[in-house]
Structure 1
Amino acid sequence: MQYDYGAGVLRVKTGADHTIIGQNKLSDSADVKPVSLFGRFFKILGPGLVAACVVIGPGSIVTSSSVGAIAGFANVWVVIVSVIFMSVYLTLAVRLGVVTQRSAGDVIADAAGRFLSILVGVSVFFIAAAYQFGNNLGVHAAINGFIPWNYWVVILNAFALMFLFGFKDLYAMLERCMAVLVGVMLVAFATNLAFARPDPMALLRGLNPFSGSTEFGLPLMGLIGTTFIVSNALYQSYLVRFKGWNVADMKLGLFDARVGATIMAVITLMIMCTSASVFHPQLLAGEMAIEDINDVSKIANQLEPLFGPAGRYVFCIGLFSAAYSSFIVNSMIGGFVLSDALKLGNLPNERGPRIMSAIVLLSGMGVALYMIVTGVGKPAGLIVAAQATTVVASPLIAATLLWLTNRKSVMGEKTNGPVTNAVAGIGLIVLLLISAKILFIDLLK
């Protein structure tokens, strides 16, 4: 028997049903412990913290640093717009999960056939595998700068596999782990930003899309691709079911999604502003080459003269926390959605999703290990390219999610409103334009 406090209602969970005990207050029963305000807040933020951990990975750190170094504060508005789109698609997924109380794979199969469900599952798996490659490189870069060794990713993947198969209540442990890592990230990158002392007026000017030149090259595409991740949004529909939320908890789920999106924006902006304050002036003065921005170890080393020896350590701690948190959750996104599409299971206690998640882990490790051992390419440049390329598969997922949440046969009276559809539609158009640019311009160069 479990107790859950949501929407002002305390429910006893017995299987899939929710029995209401009391409203706006906790039961006086001796076996029910009062829930503190912090405890209630933590319960609300579970899926949102998980979503933030996936978005804030090494890809977002490297691409944010690259964009900030090259353009200064001029592209701050891009982060804000990307996070708004991400927030809208997170809310679509939350509503889909709490209204249908079914897995997205089954809902898609019933609405459009199993083929589309499998196509979406394969697309999510592809995106997760591409991100996993970047996550492995990010974890390696964070540790290798202090203790050089080419095989760190093997050890860390082994720990991830132990996490994946070692806990019966996988989701509860995931929430706790991600809460700690998000806290470490916030402290680490806020510390770097405090030392960097960004110009507040330059930051405000960066909110204006017309205040500076914005070049939509691969780094900026990568920044959008690593912030506006619709595969992550789709997985939110699974997380709210794992949490036990239903229609009565709709407001909690939407609040959770928006807080998660805010956390993404804050951390991404802290990294970009630090880079804009520290590296952009050096780049303009010729004291730093563009190639240096594509080397994670050089990014960390550049902080040491300004921030002291602690600057490099703080950056690498934040990088490791971001990489390893995304490392675990990202593999689960690819594994769970594809397993669901193939009807191998869609719940944390089933073996199918865990096995498929392990495949994502091992595939990402294999490609990254090959790159590390052979020395092919620079890790940061490869991470940026991986993040940008994943946008190509995103329009299908976004269109499917938008279509499902507008069908009365799926959502009943909880279909999208006009404002939600307008913002989500613009987001879909942005993804289509980016995908076209990557496919027909960037990848053909």
Structure 2
Amino acid sequence: MSEAAAESSTNSRPHWWQRIGPGLVTACVVIGPGSILSSSNLGAKDGYSMIWVVLISVFFMLIYTSLGAKLGTVTEESTCTLLAKMVGRPLTILIGCGVFFISAAYQFGNNIGVHSALESYTDFKYGIVIFNAISLAFLFGFKNLYKLVERLMSIFVALMLASFAINLFFAKPNLLEMAEGVIPGYGSDGLDSILNLSLLGLVGTTFVISAAFYQSYLARFKGWKVQDLKDGRIDSVISVTIMALITIMIMSTAAAVLRGKELTGVSDVGNALQPLFGDKGQILFCIGLFSAAYSSFIVNSMIGGFILSDSLGLGGTPQDKWTRILTAAVLLTGMFVGLYVIQSGTKPVVAIVAAQAVTVVAAPLAAGALLLLTSSKKVMGEHRNGIVMNILASIGFVLLLGMAWYIASEKVLPQIQKMRGASTAMVQVEPVETKLALQNRN
């Protein structure tokens, strides 16, 4: 190639902001109704003192999204295909099924988030049906699905940043206390304050390993090659910066104006802001909430559908039939569970416990698979992880194991025992009722 041709090729290369995208998609799936509620609850309860937790969570998210981006950039085959060759198809299918059920559980929350953003302005209870129908139209109506999703997510990220930033501006947070909140343990009431359920909920909704795993697919859809590794690193940094900014803005807004309030759902946050900021403040929050819920709504369903399809050997690209069919399955599962909750007003306890139990197994497995693949010289060649990256990723893996143990011991097992106790009580009551009925008949 001549010098003139080489220079022309270099000059025609898009700007760095045109070469990123997968990180924006990942940020959208992480910032959903669950993370908004968790960060609002922490801000209302502990003020600014837990900002450091956000930074630690997004740091480990950066580690694993970087691993995912590097894997998708360097390798030619899909992630589950590589994994099946290394550990076998059965374990790969277990991971795929686990991610699918985790996505389905998140999807229920996304549907409720969309409904909460709409219910302040309309009594129509079937808005989520319309938005699921729109999502299905996107899914089956566009050939270049990734390009469409990337553009949509860019718009949603901009809306979230603007909405929550304006809310924070009017909240007038204490900047000194915000700065002190970066220091671990500063301003908290000791270990009990640090090790609380809300805090672990924030870590769980920010350090989302299934989204990091899916980053390897997004990098491949983007068309990145080995020469684009730098773009992948920049993209991952931008992604976690957006996650951190939005989460800290939401937490700080709650710390400034919602201190001491009990927040049981995302609609409570918007309703609590209305008397303080007026209708405009509530509208801004609902725009941010809707953007977070609906962006996560689309991408989260793709994570579950694509990874399950690929784990089964049915394809892992937007062009494959089964990726779209299984993505639709996630969408419809979330919609029907969401409608059940909206109509009945009760939570599907069995489904929630089952999803938590799956998370206990699937999240560490997915993290371990990502770490195993990116550490393999056979898979990555000269681009395999270095010692420092492996140490940091291993610490993140231990963190996931700790969270899995906590969820299993403090949430899943007590709920199972409670349900078993309730069913036993019903069995004991039934014979008594039968005996009374027979006596009355006699």
TM-score normalised to the size of structure 1? 0.87
Residue of structure 1 in register with 2:41 after alignment:
66
- Deviation per residue, 1:357-399 (Å, 9 max, x gap): 00000011111111111001499xx999978984653111111
Residue of structure 2 in register with 1:11 after alignment:
none
Larger Rg: 2
Residue of structure 2 in register with 1:429 after alignment:
398
Residue of structure 2 in register with 1:409 after alignment:
378
Note if contact 1:74-1:206 (Cα within 8 Å) is conserved in structure 2: yes
1:253 is aligned to 2:232: yes
Shift of 1:210: 2.1
- Deviation per residue, 1:135-172 (Å, 9 max, x gap): 00100100011102221111111111001111011111
Decide which of 268, 273, 286 is 1:298's aligned counterpart: 268
1:168 is aligned to 2:143: yes
Note if contact 2:101-2:355 (Cα within 8 Å) is conserved in structure 1: no
CA separation of 1:48/1:25 partners in 2, compared to 1, >3 Å: closer, same or farther? farther
Moved over 6 A (4+): 382-389
- Deviation per residue, 1:121-140 (Å, 9 max, x gap): 11111111111011001001
Decide which of 188, 194, 203 is 1:224's aligned counterpart: 203
Amino acid aligned to 1:417: G
1:103 is aligned to 2:72: no
Alignment of 1:247-326 (within 5 A): 247-280=226-259, 283=260, 288=261, 290=262, 293-326=263-296
Shift of 1:296: 2.7
1:398 is aligned to 2:367: yes
Amino acid aligned to 1:66: N
CA separation of 1:112/1:298 partners in 2, compared to 1, >3 Å: closer, same or farther? closer
Q: Take 2:294 and 2:323, find their aligned partners in 1: how far apart are those partners? A: 19
Residue of structure 1 in register with 2:183 after alignment:
208
CA separation of 1:69/1:348 partners in 2, compared to 1, >3 Å: closer, same or farther? same
Amino acid aligned to 1:261: V
Note if contact 1:59-1:384 (Cα within 8 Å) is conserved in structure 2: no
Note if contact 1:55-1:264 (Cα within 8 Å) is conserved in structure 2: yes
Note if contact 2:68-2:216 (Cα within 8 Å) is conserved in structure 1: yes
CA separation of 1:302/1:176 partners in 2, compared to 1, >3 Å: closer, same or farther? same
Q: Take 2:196 and 2:337, find their aligned partners in 1: how far apart are those partners? A: 25
- Deviation per residue, 1:49-108 (Å, 9 max, x gap): 101111111111111111111111111111100000000001111111111121111000
Note if contact 2:357-2:408 (Cα within 8 Å) is conserved in structure 1: no
Residue of structure 2 in register with 1:329 after alignment:
299
Residue of structure 1 in register with 2:64 after alignment:
89
SS at structure 1 position matched to 2:364: helix
CA separation of 1:443/1:368 partners in 2, compared to 1, >3 Å: closer, same or farther? same
SS at structure 1 position matched to 2:385: coil
Number of positions where the alignment pairs a residue of Structure 1 with one of Structure 2: 407
SS at structure 2 position matched to 1:105: helix
Amino acid aligned to 2:178: L
SS at structure 2 position matched to 1:368: helix
Shift of 1:24: 5.6
Note if contact 1:58-1:383 (Cα within 8 Å) is conserved in structure 2: no
Greater displacement, 413-422 / 208-217: 208-217
Alignment of 1:95-174 (within 5 A): 95-174=70-149
Residue of structure 2 in register with 1:185 after alignment:
160
CA separation of 1:387/1:114 partners in 2, compared to 1, >3 Å: closer, same or farther? closer
Residue of structure 1 in register with 2:437 after alignment:
none
Q: RMSD of the alignment, in Å?
A: 2.3
Q: Take 1:170 and 1:296, find their aligned partners in 2: how far apart are those partners? A: 30
Shift of 1:21: 10
Q: Take 1:200 and 1:385, find their aligned partners in 2: how far apart are those partners? A: 42
Shift of 1:26: 4.1
The structure whose residues are more often strand, as a share, is 1
Q: Take 1:256 and 1:155, find their aligned partners in 2: how far apart are those partners? A: 32
Shift of 1:201: 1.2
Note if contact 1:58-1:134 (Cα within 8 Å) is conserved in structure 2: yes
1:440 is aligned to 2:409: yes
Q: Take 1:94 and 1:297, find their aligned partners in 2: how far apart are those partners? A: 35
CA separation of 1:278/1:397 partners in 2, compared to 1, >3 Å: closer, same or farther? same
Q: Take 1:266 and 1:231, find their aligned partners in 2: how far apart are those partners? A: 21
Amino acid aligned to 1:373: Q
Shift of 1:257: 1.1
SS at structure 2 position matched to 1:412: helix
Q: Take 1:271 and 1:114, find their aligned partners in 2: how far apart are those partners? A: 42
CA separation of 1:95/1:305 partners in 2, compared to 1, >3 Å: closer, same or farther? same
Amino acid aligned to 2:18: K
CA separation of 1:22/1:230 partners in 2, compared to 1, >3 Å: closer, same or farther? farther
Note if contact 1:223-1:388 (Cα within 8 Å) is conserved in structure 2: no
Q: Take 1:383 and 1:187, find their aligned partners in 2: how far apart are those partners? A: 33
Residue of structure 2 in register with 1:6 after alignment:
none
- Deviation per residue, 1:328-373 (Å, 9 max, x gap): 0000010000000111111111211011100000011111111111
Q: Take 1:93 and 1:185, find their aligned partners in 2: how far apart are those partners? A: 25
1:52 is aligned to 2:22: no
SS at structure 1 position matched to 2:258: helix
- Deviation per residue, 1:240-268 (Å, 9 max, x gap): 11111111111111111111111111111
Note if contact 1:58-1:319 (Cα within 8 Å) is conserved in structure 2: yes
The structure whose residues are more often helix, as a share, is 2
5+ residue gaps in structure 1?
1-19, 29-33
Q: Take 1:126 and 1:200, find their aligned partners in 2: how far apart are those partners? A: 41
Percent of residue pairs identical: 51
Amino acid aligned to 1:74: S
